[in-house]
Homo-oligomer: A and B are copies of this chain.
Amino acid sequence: MELSHTDKNGKANMVDVGHKPNQLREAIAKGFIKLQPETVRLIRENQMKKGDVLTIAEIAGIQAAKRTPELIPLCHTLLLTKVDVRATLTDTGVEVTGYAKCIGQTGVEMEALTAVSVSLLTVYDMCKAVDKSMVIDNVRLVEKIKTNLD
């Protein structure tokens, strides 16, 4: 077994995907930011006022997905056909789910994970004045699908 992004001498290596077939690629990632009860209450109140907090976090995630190849040095540019980010308030924090989809030669898990990470950082930013103990946790891939085009 070998790291796909390094060659035999350990050097950086952008994986050549030129020979791979175009396939329908989908990925779902999730992550969580733990908040204090008071912070959860403030976001709930904000949502009741038709507030913007969770929407801004979702938009930040969608935009970050599109910029994944700028952020992650060895990622390929892809033509995402769909990105969806949902931020949901729970009793202990905000859970973010990110979905990315493309027809391309390599998978979209980094796009889904980047969307989730930046969305969670955006929640952090908006709550940092009131909550000094936030933690971003459990950012992981939950599903990855590859479908042949007919």
Contacts and interface: CB of A to CB of B under 8 A. Distances in A.
A118 B74 CA distance: 12
A145 interface: no
Interface in A94-150: 101-105, 109-110, 113-114, 117-118, 121-122, 124-130, 132-141
A76 B15 CA distance: 22
Interface residues of A, number: 85
A65 to B, nearest CB: 9
A64 interface: yes
Nearest to A137: B137
A126 B16 CA distance: 13
A150 B46 CA distance: 38
Contacts of A69: 66
10 contacts: A10-B52, A11-B51, A15-B82, A16-B81, A55-B56, A60-B71, A74-B125, A109-B128, A110-B128, A117-B121
Interface of A: 1-6, 9-18, 24, 31, 38, 42-43, 46-47, 49-53, 55-56, 58-60, 62-64, 66-67, 69-84, 86, 101-105, 109-110, 113-114, 117-118, 121-122, 124-130, 132-141
